[in-house]
Amino acid sequence: MFSICYFLNNKSSVELEEESELTLAAISPVRVTPRPGGPGPYRLATICLATLCAVLLISIIAVTAHYKNKPPSAGGATSAMQKQDAAAVSDLTAAVSKLQEEKKRLQEEKKRLQEEKDELLAKLEPAIATKAPEGIKPTTAAPIVCPADWLLFNGSCYFISRTTRDWPESQSYCQSKGGHLAIIHTPEEQTFLWDHLPRGHWRAFWFGLSDEHTEVIGNGFWEVGEPNNHIDEDCGYIVKTQVLERVAIRSWYDAPCSMYWPFICEKEMVAGGSTAVPH
Ligand SMILES: *[C@@H]1O[C@H](CO)[C@@H](O)[C@H](O)[C@H]1NC(C)=O
Ligand SMILES: [Ca+2]
């Protein structure tokens, strides 16, 4: 680029020389004759070079203008972004320090609560220690807690099965749970269990009555006409149906012990104090 411009400058000086020659010629008419093929090609070259130079200049201006416009806009964008970044960073820093403060506060709170808990435990321990000797004697003080799915009534827990077994298998199952098929003494007990039985077309549940053991037949909550000992029926079951006239205290039937029914287990939870049924 520079060499071209330099070349052009040279040419210009050549042209100036020519002009001066022309002026000289005008002054002294002796040297009027122009050099053969002199100014023609030079002028053409000069025009060409000038045009080239102009093009180059324009190009340079255009390029510089382009880059002058671009960097400032780009620079402006970066500075705006940098500002945004800086703001975000300071926000984050603030958030972090806030969280650190919160963490510190929570740690202190945790420490305080831990101390409180230790204090309370220290206070409680003597109380527990003094209670322990009482706990050795089974008294009525402890509340009875039945296993999950078992119902509490008057010191006993009851389990109403959803699966069916014959009477001996039902008894074995109840014994495996530390109980026996329910032995029902009072109308209240009978009604409590009855109320918890589901209704159905013919819902029957084994309970703890069989000829194989000594029976208290005569008493009890038999349906009218039962026990009829129809085809060697030795085991007792409670029936609950959709018929609402059927009532708790007239719901016992007897049936062959080999039938498969759901069943009701009982587990006495109060060992001493009264006439709990031994097993
Ligand atoms: C509660 O159980 C005791 C001891 O088994 C019994 O004597 C009493 O009759 C029962 N009470 C009721 C309401 O079932
Ligand atoms: Ca019967």
The average confidence (pLDDT) of the chain is 75
By C-alpha distance, which of 213, 214, 204, 219 is closest to 254? Answer: 204
The confidence band for 163, taking pLDDT boundaries of 50, 70 and 90, is: very high
pLDDT in tens, 198-232: 998 889 999 998 766 555 555 789 888 888 876 67
Written as six digits, the tokens of 73 are 């806009």
Q: Is the CB of 168 under 6 A from ligand 1?
A: no
The reported pLDDT for the residue numbered 175 is 97
The reported pLDDT for the residue numbered 40 is 59
Q: Judging by beta carbons within 10 Å of its beta carbon (0-12, 13-18, 19+), is residue 246 exposed, middle or buried?
A: middle
pLDDT in tens, 238-253: 999 888 888 898 899 9
Q: Is the CB of 274 under 6 A from ligand 1?
A: yes
The confidence band for 177, taking pLDDT boundaries of 50, 70 and 90, is: very high
Residue 44 CA to its chain's centroid (Å): 86
CATH of domain 150-268: 3.10.100.10
How much of the chain exceeds pLDDT 70, in percent? 62
Domain segments of the chain as ranges: 2-69, 150-268
Whether residue 196 contacts residue 151, with contact meaning beta carbons closer than 8 Å, is answered with yes
Whether residue 190 contacts residue 252, with contact meaning beta carbons closer than 8 Å, is answered with no
Tokens 């420490």 -> residue: 111
Q: Is 247 helix (H, G, I), strand (E, B) or coil?
A: coil
**223 alpha carbon – ligand 2 mean position (Å):** 9
How much of the chain exceeds pLDDT 90, in percent? 35
Q: Closest Cα to atom 7, ligand 1: which residue? A: 275
Written as six digits, the tokens of 148 are 């999950």
The reported pLDDT for the residue numbered 20 is 42
Residue 126 φ/ψ region, left for φ over 0, alpha for ψ in the -120 to 50 degree band, beta for the rest: alpha
By C-alpha distance, which of 188, 212, 190, 211 is closest to 264? Answer: 190
Q: Is the pLDDT of residue 46 over 50?
A: yes
